[in-house]
Amino acid sequence: MKKYQGMIILFAPSNEAALEATLEALRAEVVKLEGSVEALTRMGRATFARPLRKKESGVYVLITFTLQPAQLALLRERLKLNPDILRAQFFRAPTAQAPAPLADDKAAALSEKGA
């Protein structure tokens, strides 16, 4: 299983219940492919630079999930079938890296400056 993030653009729904239903369908698609959703963050509504499919604005959602790499293409295809989803872009989630330790000479120089 690999960790992915995806930026999803949804057509702006008419009410909050419709948005929740679309987000739940998005979650269900990941779970159906034996993945797990770690986070689903609403980024807000934004107006497009030009109309897309006769719509002026959309709701941006950032999703973080784990999934088998072979299943990612299938997830893309399934999301294309959902009429409420305008665009979906997926990428590998960044891994948290610990800062590199200072070299001994740099650490000594820093301690001398501080003293």
Which token pair is 46? Answer: 């934004």
Q: Are 41 and 93 in contact (CB under 8 A)?
A: no
Please give the domain boundaries of the chain with CATH numbers for all domains. Answer: 2-96 (3.30.70.60)
Give CA torsion, residues 82, 80, 70, 91, to 10 deg.
Answer: -100
pLDDT average, residue stretch 25-30: 96
| 70-88 residue pLDDT tens | 999 999 999 999 999 999 9
pTM above 0.95, yes or no: no
| 78-115 residue pLDDT tens | 999 999 999 999 999 887 766 666 555 565 666 666 55
